[in-house]
Amino acid sequence: MSTPVIKIENLVKRYNELVALDHFNLEIEQGEIFGLLGPNGSGKTTTINCILALLSFDKGTVEVFGETMAPNKYKIKREIGIVFQNVAVFNELTVYENIDYFCGLYIMDKNTRKQYVEEAIEFAGLTEFKKFYPKKLSGGLLRRLNIACGIAHKPKLIIMDEPTVAVDPQSRNKILEGILELNKKGATIIYTSHYMEEVEQICTRIAIMDKGRNLAIGTKEELKMMIKTGETISMEVLELENKYMEEIRKLNHVYQVDYADNKLNIKCSKGKHNLIRILDYLQQNQIAFGRVYSELPTLNDVFLEITGKELRDK
């Protein structure tokens, strides 16, 4: 088995009384796009800062590429690219100069750097904006510049902390495609986001964290298997007496029934033919129904069931 790109064991980080990371464990293998999901304050950014050796911690170990991470481990740092949640570029430098500046912190050779910078500009779709100052860029372009600055040196490990916050759908798609492309080229990616569908779309494995703890980890299919919900069936029903609701609840695999505003929602645990069974029951009891939907559990259901809260804290 190859050495994990990142191995975190029993990591504890306290801010006075607040425990930001509570015996947190994580292993990320090479070539993964690893999603780190969690509500605000769950410890995602703290974890990233500990991986980068920016933040001190109270207990535990952080290994990157098989070596204990430290601020002076320049060899390891050279292989890491970071895209912070806040855009971190110089307003006084142009798009090209910004990428060149940050790439220059990693790549000494002028010609190689020039080539890498051009490639990063191309990758981020910023060719037309090379000479623009950050203040003249739209939010989406600025985010793309932020990414280009973090990946221009072709790192083996890319850490992206909510890179698509406040980005329009077109730019978001461009960014997500770019991440998949980087991964195809061999980079391991750690991706944190508030947007469940993004994580579901690109991540090969996902960890759900809350209150500094790793609550669940696995592929999206594995995570969905961990929860009770197997299928959610919704339909329009004009009238439904309570006795029918009670009887539906007693059907096999049904564990939750809600009826409001002429809408019937039925949650079923894993099992086959749930929809047929419910429709049969309605027909037998001559209950009229309209449009019927059947949905498999989403990552949002997984998150809700595991953490008990909405991911997008308002």
Partner 1 sequence: MFIQLLKYKIIKMFRTKDELFWCLAFPLILGTLFYISFGKLSEKQESFQCISIAYIEDQTKKDEQFETVLNVLSEEGEDQMVQVVTNSENEAKELLLNKKISGIIYNTEEISLTVNDSGINESILKEFLNQYIQKRETIMNIARSSPEKLAQLLESESSNNNSLKEISFTDASIDPMSNYFYSLIAMSCLYGCFAGMSSAVDAKANLSTLAARRIAAPTNKMKLILGDFLGAVLVQFACTMVTLLYLLFVLKIDFGRKLPYIVVTILVGCMIGIASGLFAGSIGRQSEKMKSSIILTFTMVECFLSGLMFGDMKDIIEHHAPIINRINPAALIVDAFYSLNIYDTYERYTKNLVSMLVIAGLLCIVSFLVIRRERYASI
CA distance 257 to 264: 7
Within 188-207, the residues that bind partner 1 by CB under 8 A are none
274 part of the interface to partner 1, by CB under 8 A: no
75 part of the interface to partner 1, by CB under 8 A: yes
2 part of the interface to partner 1, by CB under 8 A: no
- Please identify, among the stretches 88-96, 200-208, 219-227, 285-293, the one whose residues bind partner 1 according to the rule CB under 8 A: 88-96
Q: Residue 147: name the closest of 95, 106, 78 by CA.
A: 95
218 strand-pairing partners? 206
Contact of 231 with 298, CB cutoff 8 Å: no
Within 234-263, the residues that bind partner 1 by CB under 8 A are none
Three-class secondary structure of residue 216 per DSSP = strand
CA distance 182 to 159: 12
Instruction: List the Cα angle 235/240/246 in 5-degree steps.
Output: 95
The pair of structure tokens assigned to 290 is 């309209």
CB of 102 to partner 1, least distance (A): 7
CB of 92 to partner 1, least distance (A): 4
Contact of 267 with 229, CB cutoff 8 Å: yes
CA distance 58 to 17: 13
Residues in contact with partner 1, counted by CB under 8 A, come to a total of: 35
Three-class secondary structure of residue 97 per DSSP = helix
78 part of the interface to partner 1, by CB under 8 A: yes
Exposed/middle/buried for residue 109 (C-beta within 10 Å: 0-12, 13-18, 19+):
exposed
223 part of the interface to partner 1, by CB under 8 A: no
> Binder to partner 1 among 37, 149, 160, 196 (CB under 8 A)?
149
89 part of the interface to partner 1, by CB under 8 A: yes
121 part of the interface to partner 1, by CB under 8 A: no
104 part of the interface to partner 1, by CB under 8 A: yes
Sheet containing strand 80-83, edge to edge, reads 80-83, 157-161, 188-193, 33-37, 205-210, 213-218
Query: Which x/- pattern, by CB under 8 A, does the window 34-73 give for partner 1?
Result: ---------------x--xxxxx-------------xxx-
Within 9-28, the residues that bind partner 1 by CB under 8 A are 15
284 part of the interface to partner 1, by CB under 8 A: no
CB of 151 to partner 1, least distance (A): 12
Within 151-190, the residues that bind partner 1 by CB under 8 A are none
> Binder to partner 1 among 24, 34, 65, 106 (CB under 8 A)?
106
CA distance 302 to 306: 6
Residue 2 DSSP symbol: P
Three-class secondary structure of residue 116 per DSSP = helix
88 part of the interface to partner 1, by CB under 8 A: yes
The pair of structure tokens assigned to 77 is 């740092």
80 part of the interface to partner 1, by CB under 8 A: yes
Q: Residue 148: name the closest of 96, 72, 206 by CA.
A: 96
- Please identify, among the stretches 79-87, 193-201, 214-222, 233-241, the one whose residues bind partner 1 according to the rule CB under 8 A: 79-87
Binding-site ranges for partner 1 (CB under 8 A): 15, 49, 52-56, 70-72, 74-75, 77-78, 80, 82, 84-90, 92-93, 97, 100-102, 104-106, 108, 149-150
